[in-house]
Structure 1
């Protein structure tokens, strides 16, 4: 029998609905534990003008998002994200013809065959990160952000940052920080879009001040890097081939249409931000995982030694021969997923699903955190929890506790919160690898 109602919902305010839940820290955990036990695997929330559905199993997400893809492929319109300048991103743009072109362009430029051609850049970036961590072990977080940021900005724009404090890296990280604020609060403007027209000085319009600063930051990094490559292409002196320069040249260089410029500019920006934030988050979570489970890290380390040896670090070709190390990395993604709620989808028609009626305009969230309760670093370093981290884990109930999520950022990409970690080269053989590798 088909119900005419939404899936079950947590307790609601008579007027605001579930507004207060949407601003809760670690919201994905709340839906994947407490509310999962109380309400099941399909949960709804409502605010004044919006309905959200949370799917707590892979089977449900596949059943709704894949089997009903024709009516669930759109993206929800988030006014605050638009005000921050992120509505142009491939991750957040509505699924119109431009978005379809963006996805095709990204897929053609980043499919597995092309991705394998970046192997030498992967190795260069890995060695750079290893040397930096060996020299400054207490700055492993900053070193990770800089290394991954450098790789993605080089891939997208052909620009190689000179230092960890490079102004281009600062621009993108600053823009991403503003984006994270859009997920950390309930914004009234999302339910009442007309509010976007009120001035920033108006009482209660602090969101406008945040949006204006975030928008400037977003445009500065996107415009600065893109315009630099565009000028090089038009002059015929591209310094370093890249995703952006390749597409600009394929479209005629100096004779680009406005549509081509828009498409290339914003897909390039999408590569940079998506690649730098999620990959960096995963590597920092690796350090945390190695601290929490040193015996598992040691076992993966032993596997690498037996397969690769001690004269070099692992590369992508070694991956099939390292099943335990692969499982170790997969477990990191299970425990600390970089995007725990995935990318939101929007229904464009009413849908009957699992006995419930999901109305048109509903936002669908695949709660990855609820589904699933880096090799080079292991080959070179011994990694142990510092005393503060050890005490913090103990206070949460130990490393098997369900509360380990409290070690991560409550909003955004799920980065680990600052923690102390003792990192040192394993022995002289490890130092020799760093010294001798080109």
Structure 2
């Protein structure tokens, strides 16, 4: 007869085997999805690059809401505006968390506005961000945006072969100016090169699969750093964040002490720091989060615009005909011109649809169980909003793989005739629910201003084959990996549309010197010499 101890041991073993066999198994209460394997669930087929393509492929097979099992973790993918609106917007009180992440805590101590968990810390940071990023505040910072956009035209006029990095300089300088009060006159400016090094490391840290499932396998915390790539990446990102963001905050505080304030956003936060109840470190990371959210995404969007202008010359021609009618030859574009250009507005909307800068947004997580469409989605589930899949759904958009601004002239949201657009909104590309990007007004101004300038000032053409003289094809699918994929560098021929426009660009750049001046403290000697030589040249 078996002893009680043996029975207990066998019972425990059976229980452990039973539990292990159920790890990775999809619960009946969840939406369907790809077949699972024991222990792994769908980890064996989970895409580690360009996940939005695979998620969209699965959406066509399993519907606009389906689930994946990532070992013991559950993920739900939403690929319709109805599902995103009803879950992420209308139930934002319980769908605004972020997935638990060792990487987020290790790199920013939970102080990163976009990545931190749904908590009192996040609510405080969000309150501060919304208090400084008001539409009125954005209007107050238009002069530096206009001046920086003028320099971007100037840079593209005089060294068009460097247009890719000129755009990156522009987007970084605008955000560093309005957030930290200091501009970046060259791509080689240390703050710009450091920032894009930071972006590169950040993409490695947060791409799918970079961080092992530490929450479910805590013993991995004890793996030595030399064998744990994720620990080395986190350490490298944390070091560069502290170096850049604390350094920029130091300079901002010094200007305030010296009565050299620029009116930048963080000056307001510093002066009200006690009222807001946030630490100095939190102030620096708030500024850093705004920089990360604005600089990389804006440059990626503007690169995509140029890619589309050279890939679809008929679109470029129609947009330039419209801007020529409104602006003419005797002046540069102004922000108020934008309202008189329906085709250019449609071009921008179509760029957002065609190649969204955040094709999967950033994942949400549930803070409580949710009942939806007869399913029970448990607390802690990761929610992916598949923006790419929504914007490329052939049931919603006619010929979605074609770049066609006209769709937004016949329909406010570009959808096919007879398709309901009641759940759509134009801010879709800026996120969902309470996690919507607080800097979207600033970003929209940069996008609109520069698209107007590009179309007014330049001809964009694909490179030519030196042997045949024919245009070389443009690869509109060549994008970086990561959560915020940008176009890979691509060749492009850029020339001024007329000599008079080139002359106006030079004049406008010199006239912008006064707008730049208050943001040119703490520049390195190389920047100062470059500015002096550039301005004296004219």
**CA shift at 1:433, angstroms?**
2.2
Contact 1:44–1:54 (8 Å) recurs in 2 = yes
Count of residues in correspondence between the two structures = 419
Following superposition, the deviation at residue 270 of structure 1 comes to 1.4
Partner of 1:342: helix, strand, or coil? coil
Match of 2:155 in 1: 132
Residue number in structure 2 paired with 1:348: 367
Q: For 1:311 and 1:8, how far apart are their aligned partners in 2?
A: 60
Aligned to 1:400: none
Provide the rounded CA distance (Å) in 1 between the counterparts of 2:276 and 2:304: 42
Q: 1:415 aligns with which of 486, 502, 523?
A: 486
- 1:181 is matched with 204
Counterpart for residue 247 of structure 1: 269
Q: Is the 8 A contact 2:326 2:341 kept in 1?
A: yes
Residue aligning to 1:384: 461
Q: Distance in 1 between matches of 2:107 and 2:44?
A: 22
**Secondary structure of 1:84's partner?**
helix
CA deviation string 1:337-357 (max 9, x = no partner): 111111221111111112222
The aligned counterpart of 2:429 is none
What displacement does 1:417 show?
A: 1.5
Cα distance in 2 for partners of 1:346, 1:185 equals: 16
In 2, the alpha carbon distance for the partners of 1:422 and 1:122 equals 25
- The answer to which structure has the higher helix fraction is 1
**Any idea what SS the aligned residue of 1:62 has?**
helix
Q: Distance in 1 between matches of 2:276 and 2:501?
A: 52
Q: CA deviation at 1:230?
A: 2.4
SS in 2 for 1:52: strand
Q: Deviations over 1:350-397 (max 9, x none)?
A: 11112222111011111111122212101001111224896555xx7x
- Larger displacement relative to structure 2 (322-331 or 260-269): 260-269
Give unmatched runs, 5+ long, in structure 2.
Answer: 1-26, 393-450, 512-538
- Which of 283, 286, 300 aligns to 1:267? It is 286
Please report how far the alpha carbon of residue 261 of structure 1 lies from its aligned counterpart in structure 2 after TM superposition: 2.2
Change (3 A) 1:21 1:126: farther
Within 2, Cα distance between the matches of 1:150 and 1:352? 45
Q: 1:399 corresponds to which residue?
A: none
Q: Aligned to 2:223, which of 185, 198, 203? A: 198
Q: Is the 8 A contact 1:86 1:92 kept in 2?
A: no
CA distance 1:316–1:352, change in 2 (3 Å): same
C-alpha separation in 2, matches of 1:38 and 1:392 = 32
* Corresponding residue number in structure 2 for 1:7: 31
Cα deviations by residue, 1:190-219 (Å, 9 ceiling, x for unpaired): 443552343213x4x122222211221121
Quick one: structure 1 residues 231 and 431, their matched pair in 2 at CA, closer, same or farther if it must change by over 3 Å? closer
The equivalent residue for 2:405 is: none
TM-score, length of structure 2 as denominator length = 0.74
CA 1:311–1:152: 2 relative to 1, 3 Å: same
Q: Which residue of 2 aligns with 1:425?
A: 496
After superposition, the Cα gap between the structure-2 partners of 1:359 and 1:391, relative to the gap in structure 1 and judged at 3 Å, is farther
Counting only pairs closer than 5 Å after superposition, residues 93-172 of structure 1 correspond to structure 2 as 93-172=116-195
- Farther-moved stretch of structure 1 (358-367 vs 174-183): 174-183
Deviation at residue 161 of structure 1 after TM alignment: 2.0
The alignment's C-alpha RMSD in Å is 2.2
Deviates more, 1:324-333 or 1:9-18: 9-18
In structure 2, what is the equivalent of residue 314 of structure 1? 333
What secondary structure sits across from 2:459 in the alignment? strand
Q: Is residue 9–residue 39 contact of structure 1 (8 Å, CA) maintained in 2?
A: yes
Deviations 1:55-81 (A, max 9, x none): 111111001112211211212122223
Match of 1:291 among 310, 328, 334: 310
Q: 1:18 is matched with which residue: 35, 38, 42?
A: 42
Where 1:259 maps in the other structure, the secondary structure is coil
The gaps in structure 1 that reach 5 residues or longer are 397-403
Q: Deviating runs (4+, > 4 A) in structure 1?
A: 387-393
Residues 108, 213 of structure 1: alpha-carbon distance in 2 compared, 3 angstrom cutoff: same
- Three-state SS of the structure 1 residue aligned to 2:225 is coil
Secondary structure at the aligned position of 2:117 is classed as coil
Report 1 or 2 for greater relative contact order, CA contacts < 8 Å, sequence distance ≥ 6.
1
Q: What does residue 100 of structure 2 align with?
A: 77
- Distance in 2 (CA, whole Å) between partners of 1:407 and 1:309 is 35
